[in-house]
Protein backbone atom coordinates (compact mmCIF):
# COMPACT_ATOMS: atom_id res chain seq x y z
CA UNK A 1 0.00 0.00 0.00
CA UNK A 2 1.55 3.30 -1.05
CA UNK A 3 1.17 6.20 1.35
CA UNK A 4 2.33 9.70 0.60
CA UNK A 5 4.16 11.18 3.57
CA UNK A 6 6.28 14.12 4.55
CA UNK A 7 10.00 13.80 5.25
CA UNK A 8 11.88 15.76 7.86
CA UNK A 9 15.19 15.85 6.05
CA UNK A 10 14.00 18.02 3.18
CA UNK A 11 10.57 19.51 3.40
CA UNK A 12 9.19 17.26 0.66
CA UNK A 13 6.55 14.62 0.17
CA UNK A 14 7.46 11.02 -0.62
CA UNK A 15 5.72 7.70 -0.95
CA UNK A 16 6.77 5.34 1.81
CA UNK A 17 6.83 2.35 -0.57
CA UNK A 18 8.93 4.07 -3.24
CA UNK A 19 12.52 2.91 -3.70
CA UNK A 20 13.46 6.53 -3.12
CA UNK A 21 12.63 7.43 0.44
CA UNK A 22 12.85 10.75 2.29
CA UNK A 23 15.47 12.87 0.59
CA UNK A 24 18.30 14.69 2.29
CA UNK A 25 19.02 18.36 1.54
CA UNK A 26 21.50 17.33 -1.17
CA UNK A 27 18.85 15.26 -2.92
CA UNK A 28 20.22 11.90 -1.81
CA UNK A 29 18.08 9.24 -0.17
CA UNK A 30 17.98 9.78 3.58
CA UNK A 31 18.80 6.94 5.91
CA UNK A 32 15.87 5.18 7.48
CA UNK A 33 13.62 5.67 4.48
CA UNK A 34 11.88 2.38 5.16
CA UNK A 35 10.53 3.51 8.54
CA UNK A 36 6.78 3.45 8.87
CA UNK A 37 4.68 6.12 10.65
CA UNK A 38 3.96 3.62 13.42
CA UNK A 39 7.65 3.04 14.12
CA UNK A 40 8.49 4.36 17.62
CA UNK A 41 11.85 5.52 16.26
CA UNK A 42 10.16 7.88 13.81
CA UNK A 43 11.22 11.54 14.34
CA UNK A 44 8.89 13.52 16.60
CA UNK A 45 7.35 16.93 16.24
CA UNK A 46 9.91 19.68 16.73
CA UNK A 47 7.25 22.16 17.80
CA UNK A 48 3.98 21.73 19.63
CA UNK A 49 1.21 22.05 17.07
CA UNK A 50 3.42 21.38 14.07
CA UNK A 51 2.85 18.35 11.91
CA UNK A 52 5.28 15.71 13.20
CA UNK A 53 8.08 14.75 10.85
CA UNK A 54 7.41 11.51 9.01
CA UNK A 55 3.66 12.14 8.80
CA UNK A 56 2.01 10.99 5.62
CA UNK A 57 -0.64 13.01 3.82
CA UNK A 58 -3.47 11.27 5.64
CA UNK A 59 -1.91 11.81 9.05
CA UNK A 60 -1.54 15.51 8.34
CA UNK A 61 -5.17 15.70 7.21
CA UNK A 62 -6.67 13.94 10.24
CA UNK A 63 -5.16 16.49 12.63
CA UNK A 64 -5.71 19.54 10.38
CA UNK A 65 -9.39 19.05 9.52
CA UNK A 66 -10.97 18.41 12.92
CA UNK A 67 -13.71 21.02 12.47
CA UNK A 68 -16.24 21.19 9.66
CA UNK A 69 -15.74 24.96 9.51
CA UNK A 70 -12.83 26.78 11.14
CA UNK A 71 -12.09 30.49 10.61
CA UNK A 72 -8.90 32.28 11.59
CA UNK A 73 -10.69 35.59 12.09
CA UNK A 74 -14.31 36.51 12.90
CA UNK A 75 -17.40 34.78 11.59
CA UNK A 76 -20.24 37.06 10.55
CA UNK A 77 -23.09 35.32 8.72
CA UNK A 78 -26.35 37.02 7.83
CA UNK A 79 -28.13 33.89 6.63
CA UNK A 80 -28.50 30.26 7.66
CA UNK A 81 -25.48 28.28 8.87
CA UNK A 82 -26.02 24.53 9.04
CA UNK A 83 -23.55 21.72 9.72
CA UNK A 84 -23.83 17.97 10.13
CA UNK A 85 -21.65 14.90 9.64
CA UNK A 86 -21.47 11.52 7.94
CA UNK A 87 -19.02 8.69 7.28
CA UNK A 88 -18.43 8.40 3.54
CA UNK A 89 -16.93 4.90 3.74
CA UNK A 90 -20.30 3.67 5.05
CA UNK A 91 -22.34 5.19 2.24
CA UNK A 92 -23.48 8.39 0.59
CA UNK A 93 -24.37 11.47 2.58
CA UNK A 94 -27.63 11.47 4.52
CA UNK A 95 -28.72 14.60 6.40
CA UNK A 96 -28.63 15.13 10.14
CA UNK A 97 -25.68 13.05 11.33
CA UNK A 98 -23.41 14.04 14.21
CA UNK A 99 -20.32 16.05 13.34
CA UNK A 100 -19.42 19.33 11.69
CA UNK A 101 -18.13 21.37 14.61
CA UNK A 102 -17.51 25.10 14.08
CA UNK A 103 -14.42 26.90 15.34
CA UNK A 104 -13.68 30.64 15.26
CA UNK A 105 -10.47 32.28 16.43
CA UNK A 106 -12.26 35.62 16.64
CA UNK A 107 -15.85 36.64 17.36
CA UNK A 108 -18.79 34.44 16.34
CA UNK A 109 -21.64 36.57 14.97
CA UNK A 110 -24.61 34.94 13.30
CA UNK A 111 -27.77 36.78 12.33
CA UNK A 112 -29.74 33.88 10.89
CA UNK A 113 -30.93 30.53 12.13
CA UNK A 114 -27.98 28.28 12.98
CA UNK A 115 -27.95 24.51 13.38
CA UNK A 116 -24.54 23.08 14.31
CA UNK A 117 -24.32 19.28 14.27
CA UNK A 118 -21.19 19.32 16.42
CA UNK A 119 -19.67 21.72 18.93
CA UNK A 120 -19.13 25.48 18.72
CA UNK A 121 -15.77 26.94 19.75
CA UNK A 122 -14.96 30.65 19.83
CA UNK A 123 -11.79 32.06 21.38
CA UNK A 124 -13.62 35.39 21.78
CA UNK A 125 -17.28 36.43 22.13
CA UNK A 126 -20.34 34.60 20.82
CA UNK A 127 -23.06 37.03 19.69
CA UNK A 128 -25.91 35.16 18.02
CA UNK A 129 -29.14 36.70 16.76
CA UNK A 130 -32.00 34.31 16.05
CA UNK A 131 -32.41 30.70 17.05
CA UNK A 132 -29.23 28.64 17.45
CA UNK A 133 -28.96 24.89 18.06
CA UNK A 134 -25.57 23.49 19.08
CA UNK A 135 -25.84 19.70 19.18
CA UNK A 136 -22.46 19.25 20.84
CA UNK A 137 -20.73 21.48 23.35
CA UNK A 138 -20.33 25.26 23.45
CA UNK A 139 -16.91 26.73 24.29
CA UNK A 140 -16.63 30.53 24.54
CA UNK A 141 -13.47 32.43 25.49
CA UNK A 142 -15.39 35.66 26.08
CA UNK A 143 -19.03 36.63 26.66
CA UNK A 144 -22.14 35.00 25.23
CA UNK A 145 -24.66 37.72 24.39
CA UNK A 146 -27.66 36.27 22.62
CA UNK A 147 -30.60 38.03 20.98
CA UNK A 148 -32.52 34.81 20.40
CA UNK A 149 -32.91 31.30 21.72
CA UNK A 150 -29.83 29.11 22.18
CA UNK A 151 -30.08 25.37 22.76
CA UNK A 152 -26.86 23.54 23.70
CA UNK A 153 -27.37 19.78 23.72
CA UNK A 154 -24.33 19.04 25.94
CA UNK A 155 -22.12 21.09 28.28
CA UNK A 156 -21.32 24.79 27.89
CA UNK A 157 -17.99 26.38 28.87
CA UNK A 158 -18.08 30.19 29.09
CA UNK A 159 -15.13 32.32 30.23
CA UNK A 160 -17.18 35.50 30.65
CA UNK A 161 -20.83 36.46 31.08
CA UNK A 162 -23.81 34.61 29.63
CA UNK A 163 -26.70 36.93 28.88
CA UNK A 164 -29.54 36.21 26.48
CA UNK A 165 -33.25 36.00 25.80
CA UNK A 166 -33.33 32.26 26.49
CA UNK A 167 -30.43 29.82 26.80
CA UNK A 168 -31.09 26.15 27.42
CA UNK A 169 -28.12 23.94 28.28
CA UNK A 170 -28.93 20.23 28.52
CA UNK A 171 -25.63 19.50 30.25
CA UNK A 172 -23.63 21.46 32.80
CA UNK A 173 -22.67 25.12 32.60
CA UNK A 174 -18.99 25.64 33.39
CA UNK A 175 -18.40 29.30 34.21
CA UNK A 176 -16.17 31.37 36.54
CA UNK A 177 -17.77 32.26 39.86
CA UNK A 178 -17.45 35.97 39.00
CA UNK A 179 -19.41 35.70 35.73
CA UNK A 180 -22.93 37.02 35.29
CA UNK A 181 -25.48 34.45 34.18
CA UNK A 182 -28.87 35.66 32.95
CA UNK A 183 -32.06 34.51 34.63
CA UNK A 184 -33.25 33.05 31.31
CA UNK A 185 -30.41 30.52 31.35
CA UNK A 186 -31.16 26.94 32.38
CA UNK A 187 -28.74 24.03 32.78
CA UNK A 188 -28.51 20.68 34.51
CA UNK A 189 -26.04 22.19 36.97
CA UNK A 190 -23.61 25.07 37.28
CA UNK A 191 -19.96 24.25 37.88
CA UNK A 192 -18.01 27.34 39.02
CA UNK A 193 -14.48 27.09 37.65
CA UNK A 194 -12.04 29.05 35.48
CA UNK A 195 -12.61 28.60 31.75
CA UNK A 196 -10.08 29.20 28.98
CA UNK A 197 -10.66 28.63 25.29
CA UNK A 198 -7.53 28.78 23.11
CA UNK A 199 -7.93 29.57 19.41
CA UNK A 200 -9.44 26.39 17.93
CA UNK A 201 -8.12 26.83 14.38
CA UNK A 202 -4.48 26.07 13.57
CA UNK A 203 -3.77 28.95 11.18
CA UNK A 204 0.01 29.37 11.35
CA UNK A 205 2.66 28.01 9.01
CA UNK A 206 3.83 25.94 11.97
CA UNK A 207 0.83 23.68 11.30
CA UNK A 208 1.38 23.29 7.57
CA UNK A 209 4.41 24.91 5.91
CA UNK A 210 2.92 24.98 2.41
CA UNK A 211 5.68 27.12 0.89
CA UNK A 212 8.39 24.90 2.32
CA UNK A 213 6.69 21.71 1.18
CA UNK A 214 6.24 23.02 -2.37
CA UNK A 215 9.81 24.33 -2.54
CA UNK A 216 11.18 20.96 -1.44
CA UNK A 217 9.20 19.13 -4.11
CA UNK A 218 10.81 21.06 -6.96
CA UNK A 219 13.90 18.85 -6.80
CA UNK A 220 12.30 15.73 -5.32
CA UNK A 221 9.35 14.42 -7.34
CA UNK A 222 8.16 11.69 -9.69
CA UNK A 223 7.71 13.88 -12.78
CA UNK A 224 10.24 11.95 -14.85
CA UNK A 225 8.39 8.67 -14.38
CA UNK A 226 5.37 10.01 -16.32
CA UNK A 227 7.12 12.54 -18.57
CA UNK A 228 5.57 15.53 -16.80
CA UNK A 229 7.38 18.85 -17.26
CA UNK A 230 6.88 21.63 -14.70
CA UNK A 231 5.15 23.90 -17.23
CA UNK A 232 2.94 21.19 -18.81
CA UNK A 233 -0.24 22.47 -17.19
CA UNK A 234 0.36 26.18 -17.77
CA UNK A 235 -2.04 26.63 -20.72
CA UNK A 236 -4.82 24.04 -20.89
CA UNK A 237 -6.94 25.37 -23.74
CA UNK A 238 -8.90 22.22 -24.65
CA UNK A 239 -10.97 19.87 -22.45
CA UNK A 240 -8.59 17.37 -20.91
CA UNK A 241 -8.40 14.48 -18.46
CA UNK A 242 -5.14 14.46 -16.54
CA UNK A 243 -4.50 10.95 -15.19
CA UNK A 244 -1.71 10.31 -12.71
CA UNK A 245 -0.45 7.12 -11.06
CA UNK A 246 0.47 7.24 -7.36
CA UNK A 247 3.38 9.54 -6.58
CA UNK A 248 4.29 13.18 -6.08
CA UNK A 249 4.38 15.69 -8.89
CA UNK A 250 5.57 19.28 -9.23
CA UNK A 251 4.25 21.94 -11.63
CA UNK A 252 4.93 25.65 -11.85
CA UNK A 253 1.26 26.57 -12.19
CA UNK A 254 -2.12 25.27 -13.34
CA UNK A 255 -3.93 27.56 -15.76
CA UNK A 256 -6.99 26.15 -17.53
CA UNK A 257 -9.45 27.80 -19.88
CA UNK A 258 -11.30 24.58 -20.78
CA UNK A 259 -12.80 21.89 -18.51
CA UNK A 260 -10.25 19.80 -16.61
CA UNK A 261 -10.68 16.43 -14.91
CA UNK A 262 -7.80 15.43 -12.66
CA UNK A 263 -7.85 11.67 -12.08
CA UNK A 264 -5.73 9.80 -9.52
CA UNK A 265 -5.59 6.06 -8.86
CA UNK A 266 -3.65 5.92 -5.58
CA UNK A 267 -2.00 8.12 -2.95
CA UNK A 268 -0.90 11.19 -4.89
CA UNK A 269 0.48 14.62 -4.04
CA UNK A 270 0.65 17.56 -6.45
CA UNK A 271 2.69 20.69 -5.69
CA UNK A 272 1.97 23.96 -7.50
CA UNK A 273 4.60 26.71 -7.22
CA UNK A 274 2.29 29.55 -8.27
CA UNK A 275 -1.50 29.85 -8.78
CA UNK A 276 -4.18 27.38 -9.74
CA UNK A 277 -6.45 29.29 -12.13
CA UNK A 278 -9.52 27.64 -13.67
CA UNK A 279 -11.93 29.48 -15.95
CA UNK A 280 -14.15 26.45 -16.54
CA UNK A 281 -15.05 23.18 -14.83
CA UNK A 282 -12.29 21.78 -12.62
CA UNK A 283 -12.99 18.33 -11.21
CA UNK A 284 -11.04 15.76 -9.22
CA UNK A 285 -11.85 12.08 -9.77
CA UNK A 286 -10.78 9.23 -7.49
CA UNK A 287 -10.25 5.89 -9.22
CA UNK A 288 -10.45 3.02 -6.73
CA UNK A 289 -10.44 2.68 -2.97
CA UNK A 290 -6.72 3.42 -2.71
CA UNK A 291 -7.01 6.80 -4.40
CA UNK A 292 -6.41 9.99 -2.44
CA UNK A 293 -4.94 13.38 -3.28
CA UNK A 294 -3.05 16.08 -1.40
CA UNK A 295 -2.83 19.28 -3.45
CA UNK A 296 -0.44 22.04 -2.30
CA UNK A 297 -0.73 25.48 -3.91
CA UNK A 298 1.94 28.03 -3.00
CA UNK A 299 -0.06 30.79 -4.67
CA UNK A 300 -3.82 31.23 -4.79
CA UNK A 301 -6.85 29.50 -6.25
CA UNK A 302 -8.54 31.65 -8.89
CA UNK A 303 -11.78 30.04 -10.05
CA UNK A 304 -14.49 31.48 -12.29
CA UNK A 305 -16.23 28.24 -13.28
CA UNK A 306 -17.55 25.18 -11.47
CA UNK A 307 -14.64 24.38 -9.19
CA UNK A 308 -14.76 21.17 -7.16
CA UNK A 309 -11.87 20.58 -4.79
CA UNK A 310 -12.72 16.91 -4.55
CA UNK A 311 -15.62 14.51 -4.60
CA UNK A 312 -18.90 14.67 -2.72
CA UNK A 313 -18.85 10.88 -2.39
CA UNK A 314 -15.47 10.60 -0.63
CA UNK A 315 -14.47 14.08 0.57
CA UNK A 316 -11.98 12.81 3.17
CA UNK A 317 -9.67 11.55 0.44
CA UNK A 318 -8.98 14.95 -1.14
CA UNK A 319 -7.14 17.70 0.73
CA UNK A 320 -6.11 21.08 -0.69
CA UNK A 321 -3.63 23.39 1.04
CA UNK A 322 -3.38 26.99 -0.21
CA UNK A 323 -0.77 29.53 0.93
CA UNK A 324 -1.96 32.56 -1.06
CA UNK A 325 -4.12 35.40 0.23
CA UNK A 326 -6.34 36.02 -2.81
CA UNK A 327 -10.04 35.43 -2.11
CA UNK A 328 -11.27 32.02 -3.23
CA UNK A 329 -14.45 32.92 -5.09
CA UNK A 330 -16.91 30.17 -5.91
CA UNK A 331 -19.45 30.58 -8.69
CA UNK A 332 -21.52 28.23 -10.80
CA UNK A 333 -22.47 24.93 -9.16
CA UNK A 334 -21.80 25.76 -5.51
CA UNK A 335 -21.11 22.28 -4.20
CA UNK A 336 -17.62 21.85 -2.82
CA UNK A 337 -16.35 18.33 -2.15
CA UNK A 338 -13.09 17.94 -0.24
CA UNK A 339 -11.09 19.59 2.51
CA UNK A 340 -9.68 23.09 2.11
CA UNK A 341 -6.89 24.63 4.21
CA UNK A 342 -6.45 28.31 3.27
CA UNK A 343 -5.47 30.25 6.41
CA UNK A 344 -4.57 33.42 4.49
CA UNK A 345 -7.59 33.56 2.17
CA UNK A 346 -11.31 34.17 2.45
CA UNK A 347 -13.81 31.76 0.94
CA UNK A 348 -16.50 33.74 -0.88
CA UNK A 349 -19.64 32.05 -2.19
CA UNK A 350 -21.79 33.74 -4.82
CA UNK A 351 -24.89 31.88 -3.63
CA UNK A 352 -26.02 29.06 -1.34
CA UNK A 353 -23.09 26.72 -0.72
CA UNK A 354 -22.88 23.05 0.27
CA UNK A 355 -19.47 21.89 1.47
CA UNK A 356 -18.94 18.13 1.61
CA UNK A 357 -15.82 17.91 3.75
CA UNK A 358 -14.25 20.74 5.74
CA UNK A 359 -12.98 24.30 5.40
CA UNK A 360 -10.28 26.10 7.36
CA UNK A 361 -9.89 29.64 6.02
CA UNK A 362 -9.08 33.17 7.11
CA UNK A 363 -12.72 34.10 6.69
CA UNK A 364 -15.90 33.20 4.85
CA UNK A 365 -18.49 35.35 3.09
CA UNK A 366 -21.84 33.82 2.25
CA UNK A 367 -24.63 34.94 -0.08
CA UNK A 368 -27.21 32.43 1.05
CA UNK A 369 -27.45 29.25 3.08
CA UNK A 370 -24.01 27.94 4.09
CA UNK A 371 -24.08 24.19 4.74
CA UNK A 372 -21.16 21.99 5.78
CA UNK A 373 -21.45 18.20 5.65
CA UNK A 374 -18.38 16.99 7.53
CA UNK A 375 -16.93 13.66 6.38
CA UNK A 376 -15.81 12.06 9.65
CA UNK A 377 -13.55 9.69 7.73
CA UNK A 378 -10.97 12.49 7.56
CA UNK A 379 -10.38 11.98 11.29
CA UNK A 380 -8.89 8.55 10.50
CA UNK A 381 -7.26 9.49 7.21
CA UNK A 382 -3.89 8.33 8.51
CA UNK A 383 -4.99 4.74 9.06
CA UNK A 384 -4.01 3.57 5.55
CA UNK A 385 -0.53 4.91 6.33
CA UNK A 386 -0.31 3.12 9.66
CA UNK A 387 -1.94 -0.18 8.65
CA UNK A 388 -1.06 -0.52 4.97
CA UNK A 389 -4.71 -1.24 4.20
CA UNK A 390 -6.89 0.67 1.68
CA UNK A 391 -9.77 2.87 2.71
CA UNK A 392 -12.73 1.02 4.16
CA UNK A 393 -15.50 1.29 6.78
CA UNK A 394 -14.32 2.23 10.27
CA UNK A 395 -13.67 -0.65 12.69
CA UNK A 396 -16.32 -1.55 15.24
CA UNK A 397 -13.93 -0.61 18.04
CA UNK A 398 -11.79 2.48 18.36
CA UNK A 399 -8.30 2.12 16.91
CA UNK A 400 -5.24 2.58 19.06
CA UNK A 401 -3.23 5.81 18.79
CA UNK A 402 0.13 5.72 16.99
CA UNK A 403 2.95 4.23 19.06
CA UNK A 404 5.30 7.20 19.09
CA UNK A 405 6.70 9.80 21.43
CA UNK A 406 4.65 12.98 21.61
CA UNK A 407 4.36 16.54 22.84
CA UNK A 408 0.68 17.16 22.11
CA UNK A 409 -2.40 15.27 20.98
CA UNK A 410 -1.57 16.32 17.41
CA UNK A 411 1.36 13.91 17.52
CA UNK A 412 -1.09 11.12 18.44
CA UNK A 413 -3.67 11.38 15.63
CA UNK A 414 -5.88 13.54 17.92
CA UNK A 415 -5.65 11.02 20.76
CA UNK A 416 -4.16 11.71 24.20
CA UNK A 417 -0.50 12.48 24.77
CA UNK A 418 0.22 11.17 28.26
CA UNK A 419 3.51 12.67 29.33
CA UNK A 420 5.57 11.85 26.27
CA UNK A 421 3.71 8.82 24.92
CA UNK A 422 0.42 8.43 23.05
CA UNK A 423 -2.21 6.56 25.03
CA UNK A 424 -5.83 6.49 26.24
CA UNK A 425 -7.55 9.68 27.33
CA UNK A 426 -8.79 10.25 30.87
CA UNK A 427 -10.84 13.40 30.19
CA UNK A 428 -11.86 15.35 27.10
CA UNK A 429 -9.11 17.86 27.92
CA UNK A 430 -6.65 15.17 26.77
CA UNK A 431 -8.16 15.15 23.26
CA UNK A 432 -7.63 17.49 20.35
CA UNK A 433 -10.72 19.71 20.18
CA UNK A 434 -13.51 19.20 19.32
CA UNK A 435 -13.17 15.48 20.09
CA UNK A 436 -14.32 14.20 23.48
CA UNK A 437 -13.08 11.33 25.63
CA UNK A 438 -15.32 8.24 25.48
CA UNK A 439 -14.09 5.09 27.25
CA UNK A 440 -10.46 6.09 26.85
CA UNK A 441 -10.75 7.08 23.17
CA UNK A 442 -11.07 10.58 21.67
CA UNK A 443 -14.15 10.59 19.43
CA UNK A 444 -16.73 12.80 17.75
CA UNK A 445 -19.49 13.65 20.23
CA UNK A 446 -22.59 11.75 19.15
CA UNK A 447 -26.11 12.80 20.03
* Tens-level pLDDT at each residue, the chain (447 residues): 445 544 332 333 333 333 222 333 232 222 223 333 333 223 233 333 444 444 589 999 999 999 999 999 999 998 899 999 999 999 999 999 999 999 999 999 999 899 999 999 999 999 999 899 999 999 999 999 999 999 999 999 999 999 988 999 999 999 999 999 999 999 999 999 999 999 999 998 777 899 999 999 999 999 999 999 999 999 999 999 999 999 999 999 999 999 999 999 999 999 999 999 998 888 999 998 889 999 999 999 988 777 777 888 999 999 999 999 999 988 766 778 999 999 999 999 888 899 999 999 999 998 889 999 999 999 999 988 888 887 778 876 556 677 788 999 999 999 999 989 999 999 999 999 999 999 999 999 998
Global confidence as pTM: 0.88
Q: H-helix or E-strand containing 225? A: helix 223-226
Q: Would you put residue 200 in left (φ > 0), alpha (ψ -120 to 50) or beta?
A: alpha
Q: How far apart are the first and last CA of the chain?
A: 35
CA gap 406, 409 in Å, rounded: 7
- The pLDDT value given to residue 206: 75
- The pLDDT value given to residue 44: 30
- The pLDDT value given to residue 403: 79
- The pLDDT value given to residue 63: 96
Which residues, other chains included, contact 30 with Cβ-Cβ below 8 Å and sequence gap of 6+? 7, 9, 10, 21, 22, 23, 24
Complete DSSP assignment for 140-204: ESS-EEEEEEEEESS-EEESS-EEEEEEEEEEEEEE-TTS-B-TTEEEEEEEE--------S--S
- The pLDDT value given to residue 447: 80
CA gap 292, 168 in Å, rounded: 42
- The pLDDT value given to residue 399: 62
CA gap 27, 29 in Å, rounded: 7
Q: What does DSSP say about strands 12-15 and 4-7: parallel, antiparallel, or unpaired? A: antiparallel
- The pLDDT value given to residue 25: 29
- The pLDDT value given to residue 118: 98
CB 264 within 8 Å of CB 291: yes
**Mapping DSSP to helix (H, G, I), strand (E, B) and coil, where does residue 430 land?**
helix
CA gap 222, 229 in Å, rounded: 10
- The pLDDT value given to residue 110: 93
Amino acid sequence: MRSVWIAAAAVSWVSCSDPVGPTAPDGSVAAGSDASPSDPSEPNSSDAGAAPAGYCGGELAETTFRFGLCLCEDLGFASVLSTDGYVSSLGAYTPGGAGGSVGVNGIFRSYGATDIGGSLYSASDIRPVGDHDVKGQLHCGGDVTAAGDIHVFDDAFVAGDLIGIRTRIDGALHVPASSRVGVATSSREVIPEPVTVPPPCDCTTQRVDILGVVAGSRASNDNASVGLTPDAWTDLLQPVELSLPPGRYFVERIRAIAPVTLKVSGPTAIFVAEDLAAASIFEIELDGNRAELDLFVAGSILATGNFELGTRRYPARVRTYVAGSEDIRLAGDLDLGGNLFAPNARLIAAGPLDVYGAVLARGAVEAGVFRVHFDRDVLRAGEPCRTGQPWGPPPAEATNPPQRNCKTCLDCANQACNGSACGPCATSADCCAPLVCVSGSCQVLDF
